[in-house]
Amino acid sequence: MQAVGLITEYNPLHNGHRYHLQRAKQLTGADCVVVVMSGNWLQRGEPAILDKWTRSKLALENGADLVVELPVFYATQPAHLFAEGGIRLLSALGCTSVVFGAEHPDLDFKRLTAEIEGHQDAFSHYNATYATQFNAALKAATGVTLTAANDMLSFCYYTANQALAHPMQLYPIQRQQADHATPTITTGKAYASGTAIRQAAFAQDWPAIAPVVPSDTLTALKSQRLQRWRDFWPLLHYQLLTVDVAHSGQYDQMAEGLEYRMQAMAQQATDFDNFMHLVKSKRYTYTRLQRVATAALLQLTQQEVQAAQAAPYLRLLGFTPKGQAYLHQVKKQLPLPLYTKINQDLRQHALNLDYRAGRVYELINGQSQDLYRRPWRMPAISVDQPELS
């Protein structure tokens, strides 16, 4: 069996994602679709609207065969580390190809990657700090800038893939949805941005959402508690007001001096949005600040995140019969440990950061996220909704 890999968040899974799942299999002819999906905390530094178990089940119901969690120490990182984590896990699972959406799939990402070879340290520095400087460096080296979010990710996928001993075949495809930041759902359209869908879901505008998501996603949104930063603000606020600034300076992605600004603004802030507004400056993007806020909330230090990135693993969230057969085929050759549940030992050691992230999330979600949770074992599924084009 041959497998194609996807790196996803599904926040929540919508028609654009469903098209991605369909197109990946069509484009590559793969027998199995393997999804690496962020857990309960996402790349933009925010909680997922639905928990990882609900989102993995939706993926399996809409075309995925195997779902593996992207650990929190990769999922909440800048684009180059997020991409590195996803590519590394898909390679470990034996995928021969990766399909991902881009705003401009006709860009020669492979050429761009080759042209910056030898400048990786500088690019990693820029990517970890300021998108503006990163693009300035990229333009100086290649003559191209990447301002769209998924074009940047595409570039990072190519860079991470080229670092593998045996690179996979990469296929960028045109994203079938509205621009990421588009705030509204357009009547009569089958696609909408995740941003627009989340806003409509919080407003319980179900008629607007129904045409742009699979029916099971709509059911999940209507029936489950939906998470956002507003819910976690009291927990973050408490951390910022009580933790010594010398300790908060050790949080992952915390820049020198930012811990003092965050602590000072926490004294004035009335809610999370107000806090972000007070902390924001020209030096930091909102996304960067949200990722630092996530690290503060989860008490993730730079030292432990970097140690965890040096020892990744495969955490199985669910599979179909086809996914189970593929896993049986490759499991003896897996170069990384495979975990199907978190027990007392793993929660204290190898999977400590994901367990910690899950425990904080379930304080609001109310559902156990890790301890003794077993992967979904889905029956053979016939996707009963029409194919999207």
Binding positions for ATP: 7-20, 101, 150, 175
Distance of CA 75 to the CA centre of its chain: 5
The DSSP bridge pattern shows strands 314-319 and 338-339 to be: parallel
φ/ψ (deg, to 5) at 40: -90, -5
**What gap in Å lies between CA 211 and CA 199, rounded to an integer?**
15
Task: Give the single-character DSSP code of 301.
Answer: B
φ/ψ (deg, to 5) at 276: -60, -40
In DSSP terms, 67 is beta-bridged to: 35, 318
The DSSP bridge pattern shows strands 169-174 and 314-319 to be: unpaired
Rounded to 5°, the CA angle 52-273-299 comes to 55
Helices (H) and strands (E) in the chain, counts: 20, 8
Distance of CA 255 to the CA centre of its chain: 22
Query: Quick one: which of 336, 363, 254 has its CA closest to 299?
Result: 254
Question: Which tokens hold the place of 339?
Answer: 């975990």
Distance of CA 357 to the CA centre of its chain: 14
**Cis? peptide before 211, omega within 30° of 0:** no
Question: Which tokens hold the place of 5?
Answer: 């890999």
**What gap in Å lies between CA 85 and CA 73, rounded to an integer?**
9
153 Cβ contact partners less than 8 Å away, ≥ 6 residues apart: 79, 82, 83, 100, 102
